[in-house]
């Protein structure tokens, strides 16, 4: 079948670690045709379906010039076998608009994964609020006085913007409260923006674990992203070291409780972030870590994903 991937520019892919590339490679090996476009190429006009200027590509096997364009055309999204939304965060206004265009394509018969409405309904920082039994002490507010109250209670805290990605904008404030006021001003912009504040979890030194859940079922290995040097963030984008490891009992309990709930809402692929025993984020836009887990454990995450996609299309 034809699979349409809505992605960032292919020229920016780091194929040795990119999960979308791993999906494409597995799909191509099964004989599926690969089509690609960016969100900016989606369009709708009255009297016509949602359409995109797409490229059909083949994979070359070369590490640098890794794809070749076979053809270009305008494609009505409902004519694709499946549309796979893999645009990386941030979830900004343009991402939001793209989900609405993809939602219209669904009404016209397109099969879109992850479901556009579910992408909108599960912002990656705030989605954890639905599952308080699994999370650490957490505050969401614009109010600096509430942040100070939370700090006085917990003494060692993490502050982060709701629209960050890859560890961007994350701050730690210890018991001395050093620079708390300045950090709050930076993040909440004088009360104009909401921030998330969480109790600092010392288990971060063992890693911020990415637990992948596909069609409601957890991948049996997580990728622990371990901070390096003086860094408090484990994100791979800021130099964290990725170490694959079997799921702990707590990891599995969180995944098996949350996974089926989210799968029923149209989230075929979810990335849960777990520090110690606490859920910290639910990633739905473009979860990654496929290749690191596969390379270190031999478990083929891309195969599990394409298996699930094919089942969903039957």
Give domain limits for the chain. 2-113, 137-200, 203-312
Active-site option among 106, 188, 233, 235: 233
Question: Helices (H), strands (E): how many in the chain?
Answer: 8, 17
Evaluate if residue 139 carries a pLDDT over 80: yes
Task: Look at the domain 137-200 and name its fold.
Answer: Dna Ligase; domain 1 (3.30.1490)
Catalytic residue, from 87, 125, 199, 209: name it.
125
Q: Are 234 and 208 in contact (CB under 8 A)?
A: yes
Out of 88-97, 107-116, 272-281, which region has the weakest mean confidence (pLDDT)?
Answer: 88-97
Strands (E), 186-313: 195-199, 208-214, 217-218, 221-226, 241-246, 269-275, 278-283
Q: Which of 208, 235, 283, 292 is catalytic?
A: 283
What's the CA gap between 265 and 117, in Å, rounded?
9
Question: φ, ψ for residue 295 (rounded to 5)?
Answer: -65, -35
Rounded distance, CA 286 to CA 279, Å? 18
Phi, psi of 93 (to 5 degrees): -60, -40
Q: Which helix (H) or strand (E) holds 172?
A: strand 171-173
> For position 44, what pLDDT does the model report?
98
Q: Give the DSSP H or E segment for 103.
A: helix 93-107
Is 172 annotated in the active site? Answer: no
The CATH number for 203-312, chosen from 3.20.20.10, 3.30.70.980, 3.40.50.920, 3.30.470.20, is 3.30.470.20
**Which one of the listed residues 18, 26, 210, 235 is annotated catalytic?**
210
Catalytic residue (choose from 225, 235, 251, 292): 225
**Residue 166 buriedness (CB in 10 A; 0-12 / 13-18 / 19+):** middle
Q: Give the pLDDT band of residue 112 (cuts 50, 70, 90).
A: very high
Residues 6+ apart with CB under 8 A from 177: 151
Is residue 260 classed exposed, middle or buried when 0-12, 13-18 and 19+ CB atoms within 10 A define those classes? middle
Both tokens of residue 260?
């089926």
Determine the pLDDT at residue 103. 98
pLDDT at 165 over 80: no
Tally the residues of the chain: 314
Q: Does residue 9 have a pLDDT over 80?
A: yes
Q: Which structure tokens are listed for 24?
A: 């494409």
Instruction: Determine whether 111 is an active site residue.
Output: no
Q: Give this prediction's pTM.
A: 0.94
Whether 114 is catalytic is no
Q: How confident is the model at residue 240 (pLDDT cuts 50, 70, 90)?
A: confident
Catalytic residue list contains 231: no
Q: Report phi then psi at 166, rounded to 5.
A: 60, 25
Known catalytic membership, residue 92: no
Q: What is the pLDDT of residues 79-102, one digit of tens each?
A: 999 999 999 988 889 999 999 999
Q: Give the C-alpha distances (Å, rounded to integers) separating 100 from 9, 94, 163, 309.
A: 21, 10, 19, 22
- Assigned token pair, 80: 């694709």
Cross-strand bridge partners of residue 141? 195
User: Distance between CA atoms of 78 and 59, rounded to whole angstroms?
Assistant: 24
User: Which listed residue (26, 106, 124, 281) is catalytic?
Assistant: 281
The CB density around residue 79, as the number of other CB atoms within 10 Å, is 14
86 is catalytic: no
pLDDT of 37 > 90? The answer is: yes
Please state, rounded to an integer, the average pLDDT across all residues of the chain: 95
Crossing angle of helices 19-29 and 290-297, rounded to 10°: 70
Q: Which helix (H) or strand (E) holds 186?
A: helix 180-188
Is 281 in the active site? Answer: yes
Nearest 5°: the CA angle 304, 306, 310 is 120
Name the CATH topology of 2-113: Rossmann fold (3.40.50)
Contacts of 242 (CB under 8 A, 6+ apart): 223, 224, 225, 226, 236, 289, 292, 296
Identify the pLDDT of residue 169: 85
148 is catalytic: no
Is residue 163 over pLDDT 90?
no
pLDDT band, residue 205 (cuts 50/70/90): very high
């Amino acid at each position: 079948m034809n699979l349409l991937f809505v992605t960032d520019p292919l020229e920016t892919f780091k194929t040795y670690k990119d999960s979308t590339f791993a999906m494409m490679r597995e799909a191509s090996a099964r004989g599926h045709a690969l089509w690609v476009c960016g969100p900016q190429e989606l369009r709708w006009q009255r009297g016509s379906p949602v359409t995109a200027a797409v490229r059909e590509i083949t994979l070359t096997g070369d590490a640098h010039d890794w794809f070749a364009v076979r053809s270009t055309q305008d494609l009505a999204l409902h004519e694709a076998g499946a549309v796979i939304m893999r645009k990386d965060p941030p979830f900004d206004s343009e991402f939001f608009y793209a989900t609405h265009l993809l939602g219209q394509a669904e009404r016209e018969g397109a099969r879109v994964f992850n479901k556009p409405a579910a992408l909108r309904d599960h912002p990656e920082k705030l989605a954890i609020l639905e599952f308080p039994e699994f999370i650490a002490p957490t505050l969401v507010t614009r109010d600096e006085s509430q942040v100070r109250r939370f700090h006085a209670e917990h003494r060692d805290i993490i502050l982060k913007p709701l629209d960050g990605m890859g560890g961007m904008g994350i701050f730690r404030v210890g018991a001395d409260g050093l620079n708390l006021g300045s950090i709050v001003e930076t993040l909440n912009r004088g009360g104009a923006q909401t921030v998330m504040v969480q109790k600092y979890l010392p288990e971060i030194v063992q890693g911020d674990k990415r637990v992948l859940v596909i069609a409601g079922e957890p991948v049996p290995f997580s990728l622990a992203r371990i901070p390096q040097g003086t860094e408090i963030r484990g994100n791979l984008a800021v130099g964290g070291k990725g170490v694959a490891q079997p799921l702990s009992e707590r990891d599995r309990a969180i995944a098996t409780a949350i996974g089926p709930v989210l799968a029923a809402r149209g989230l075929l692929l979810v990335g849960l972030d777990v520090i110690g025993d606490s859920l910290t984020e639910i990633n739905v836009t473009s979860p990654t870590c496929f290749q690191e887990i596969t390379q270190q454990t031999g478990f083929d995450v891309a195969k599990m994903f394409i298996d699930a996609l094919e089942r969903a299309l039957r």
